[in-house]
């Protein structure tokens, strides 16, 4: 069932009249008919958790916004830059009105003055499409003054980034939107607090996929949403599958579907029949790598079950590697990513990613020693937990977990 | 050439200034406009953006330097940025990137002798299911192989020649 990728079933849902004909803006109408705090309660009851990676309960996040502050904002995180993630792109390309409707419901719930959609710069054509959608909505009274006669006013704007992974981190995103370097802020104050959000006002920052779920929650009800998925992971999730499978792509499935069903029934199994799966990065470059054993394959894809096998669901960007792939090379690839994307603010991340990359290059070159493998593990362990944002932890993961699970892949490169 | 006083950009600059609470917030969209006008973010563009936003040119330059989509030096007519991040690399993107540089006779970040193509590599562009892929002047070109790429290079060369003839 598709709650999000409805463009696959309903032709032209990206046109406003088609979207309206399929329950479009029924969720917003329902929201506007009740008190803002009731909308927050509905989203809380649905069990919806943030789809950007952290999995924080969405309704709880909204409830942190102080109600008595006169100015509040919603910022949509459409910076989609995690290695292997391409789900928000499909939502915005094929079902843009649902994202805007979800954002408007969130804005009403916290009584925000305006919404800024922060898109990665490469998505400029999606930005143009969203701008056109916003204008169409303004003409019909869904955006602007006195929305649908409710007395509530809200503006919606798009903003383009310009190529920086770090701007997907919420406080860096806010700095970038304010015209400063996209570097994380010291917290507290958190974005939801006065002084911590956009222009120092209380701000909700939510991922595209998170907000696109909200219209369904309002129309079908929190119980209907909670009935999908597992106890702690409600709803569907878009799993982005890439790498060594026959049919890479986005698959929207109930949370709790097993990795085996996703990879074999939907993604077609190993790309080459004689090359079995070896490993999987279930949350792009930033989550811990796991060997694709039978136990892992039979694990349900939920926040709680992923934790049980020592990894995370995160943004569900599932990168699959077959038996021909050298995990030292994978560690190198992912480290080069984080070295490039480290914003340079915190010393452990800036220097750590630089030195990790240098030493892994030496190992891959055949000039490393067994001590070098210990050295990179040591550097990585000392980066984790020492930085203002999670990038430092993310950059430590590929080293720590590839060495833990695939020590032979490293040993083959170093002379003893 | 200028962005200040240029009727081509007047309305766009005004709409960007109108949507934010502070002028400074418009620095990123204005840098894109400067890059559009000059082909890269040159010192003139930096000064104009700084002037419009009441910012110090050094502050504007630091923003331009932080993000990969602002080019701080001139590029070829077509800027080809190949994604070589892990999911694309698993589908042969490193080999494709090396081949493309070879085909055009350029080093990483270099521009072909005819000034037509600049080639470099970028991190994940959110098109992992369509690897190998690249962006050409920020337009995605997906599911590439050598044959398809040769055809595209010929097509772009042809378009450039046509455009040049059209001007004469």
This complex has an ipTM of: 0.95
Could you say which of B20, B25, B67 has the minimum Cβ distance to residue A163?
A: B67
pLDDT per residue over B32-56, tens digit each? 999 999 999 999 999 999 999 999 9
- Measured CA to CA, the distance from residue A8 to residue A87 in angstroms comes to 13
Between vectors from CA B94 to CA A260 and to CA A247, what angle results, nearest 5°?
25
> HEC profile for B93-146?
HHHHHHHHHHHHCCCCCCECCCCCEEEEEECCCCCHHHCCCEEECCEEECCCCH
Chain B touched by A248 (CB under 8 Å): yes
Omega within 30 of 0 (cis) for the link into A211 = no
Contacts of B28 in chain A (CB under 8 A): 159-162, 176, 179
CB–CB of B124 and A199 under 8 A? no
Q: What is the pLDDT along chain A (416 residues), one digit of tens a residue?
A: 899 999 999 999 999 999 999 999 999 999 999 999 999 999 999 999 999 999 999 999 999 999 999 999 999 999 999 999 999 999 999 999 999 999 999 999 999 999 999 999 999 999 999 999 999 999 999 999 999 999 999 999 999 999 999 999 999 999 999 999 999 999 999 999 999 999 999 999 999 999 999 999 999 999 999 999 999 999 999 999 999 999 999 999 999 999 999 999 999 999 999 999 999 999 999 999 999 999 999 999 999 999 999 999 999 999 999 999 999 999 999 999 999 999 999 999 999 999 999 999 999 999 999 999 999 999 999 999 999 999 999 999 989 999 999 999 999 999 76
- pLDDT attached to residue B166: 77
- pLDDT attached to residue A279: 98
- pLDDT attached to residue B168: 55
- pLDDT attached to residue B161: 85
- pLDDT attached to residue B164: 81
Locate A392 and state its tokens: 């430092």
For helices A87-94 and A124-139, give the axis angle rounded to 10 degrees. Answer: 40
- pLDDT attached to residue A113: 97
CA distance readout (Å), A349 to A342, A381, B22: 7, 11, 31
- pLDDT attached to residue B165: 83
Alpha-helical (H) ranges within A34-142 are 36-46, 58-63, 87-94, 96-110, 124-139
For helices A124-139 and A96-110, give the axis angle rounded to 10 degrees. Answer: 60
- pLDDT attached to residue A416: 67
How many Å lie between the alpha carbon of A36 and the closest alpha carbon of chain B? 25
Residue B120 scores a pLDDT above 80: yes
What's the rounded mean pLDDT across residues B18-29?
Answer: 98
User: Do strands B117-122 and B78-83 pair parallel, antiparallel, or not at all (unpaired)?
Assistant: parallel
Buried b (16+ CB within 10 A) or exposed e, A109-141: bbbbbbbbbbbbbbbbebbebbeebbebbeeee
- pLDDT attached to residue A220: 97
Name the A residues in 146-185 with CB < 8 Å from any B CB: 155, 157, 159-165, 176-182
For helices A391-405 and A370-383, give the axis angle rounded to 10 degrees. Answer: 150
Q: For residue A156, what is the enclosing H or E element?
A: strand A155-160
What is the value of pTM for the model shown? 0.97
Chain A touched by B29 (CB under 8 Å): yes
Buried b (16+ CB within 10 A) or exposed e, A292-310: beeebbebbbbbebbeebe
Chain B CA closest to residue A271: B91
Chain A CA closest to residue B134: A122
Residue B163 scores a pLDDT above 90: no
How many Å lie between the alpha carbon of B168 and the closest alpha carbon of chain A? 31
Chain A CA closest to residue B18: A157
């Amino acid at each position: 069932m598709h709650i999000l990728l409805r463009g696959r079933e309903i032709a032209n849902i990206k046109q406003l009249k088609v979207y309206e004909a399929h329950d479009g803006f029924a969720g917003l109408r329902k929201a506007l008919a009740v008190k803002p705090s009731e909308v927050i309660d509905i989203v809380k009851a649905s069990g919806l958790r943030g789809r950007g990676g952290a999995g924080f309960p969405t309704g709880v996040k909204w409830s942190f916004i102080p109600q008595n502050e006169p100015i509040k904002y919603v910022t949509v995180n459409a910076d989609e830059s995690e290695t292997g993630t391409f789900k928000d792109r499909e939502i915005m390309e094929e079902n843009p009105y649902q994202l805007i409707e979800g954002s408007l419901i969130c804005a009403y719930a916290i009584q925000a003055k305006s919404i800024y959609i922060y898109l990665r710069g490469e998505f400029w054509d999606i930005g143009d499409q969203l701008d056109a959608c916003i204008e169409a909505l303004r003409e019909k009274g869904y955006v602007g003054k006195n929305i649908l006669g409710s007395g509530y006013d809200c503006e919606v704007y798009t903003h383009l980034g310009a190529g920086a992974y770090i701007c997907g981190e919420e406080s860096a995103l806010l700095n970038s939107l304010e015209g400063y370097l996209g570097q994380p802020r010291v917290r507290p104050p958190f974005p939801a607090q006065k002084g911590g959000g956009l222009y120092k006002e209380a701000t909700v920052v939510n991922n595209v996929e998170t907000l696109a779920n909200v219209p369904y929650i309002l129309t079908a009800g929190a119980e209907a949403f909670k009935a999908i998925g597992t106890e702690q992971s409600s709803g569907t999730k878009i799993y982005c599958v890439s790498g060594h499978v026959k049919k890479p792509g986005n698959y929207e499935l109930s949370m709790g579907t097993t990795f085996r069903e996703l990879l074999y029934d939907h993604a077609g199994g190993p790309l080459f029949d004689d090359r079995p799966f070896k490993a999987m990065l279930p949350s792009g470059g930033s989550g811990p790598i796991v060997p694709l054993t039978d136990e892992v394959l039979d694990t349900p894809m939920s926040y709680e079950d992923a934790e049980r096998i020592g990894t995370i669901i995160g943004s569900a960007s599932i990168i699959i590697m077959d038996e021909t792939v050298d995990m030292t090379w994978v560690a190198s690839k992912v480290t080069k990513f984080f070295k490039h994307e480290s914003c340079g603010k915190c010393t452990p991340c800036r220097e750590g990613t630089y030195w990790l990359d240098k030493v892994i290059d030496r190992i891959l070159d055949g000039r490393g020693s067994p001590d070098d493998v210990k050295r990179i593990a040591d550097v990585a362990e000392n980066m984790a937990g020492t930085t203002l944002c999670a990038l430092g932890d993310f950059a430590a993961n590929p080293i720590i977990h590839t060495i833990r699970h695939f020590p032979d892949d490293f040993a083959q490169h170093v002379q003893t | 050439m200028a962005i200040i006083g240029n009727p081509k950009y007047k309305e766009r600059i005004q709409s960007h200034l109108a949507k934010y609470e502070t002028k400074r917030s418009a620095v990123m969209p204005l840098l894109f406009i400067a890059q559009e006008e000059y082909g890269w973010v040159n010192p003139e563009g930096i000064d104009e953006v700084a002037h419009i936003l009441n910012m110090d040119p050094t502050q504007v330059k630091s923003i331009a330097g932080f993000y990969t989509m602002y080019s701080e030096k001139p590029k070829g007519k077509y800027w080809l940025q190949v994604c070589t991040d892990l999911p694309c690399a698993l589908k042969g993107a490193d080999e494709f990137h090396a081949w493309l540089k070879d085909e055009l006779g350029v080093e990483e970040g270099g521009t072909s002798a005819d000034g037509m193509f600049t080639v470099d590599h970028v991190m994940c562009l959110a098109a992992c299911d369509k690897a190998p892929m690249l962006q050409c002047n920020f337009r995605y070109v997906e599911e590439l192989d050598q044959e398809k790429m040769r055809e595209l290079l010929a097509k772009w060369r042809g378009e450039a020649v046509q455009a040049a003839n059209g001007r004469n």
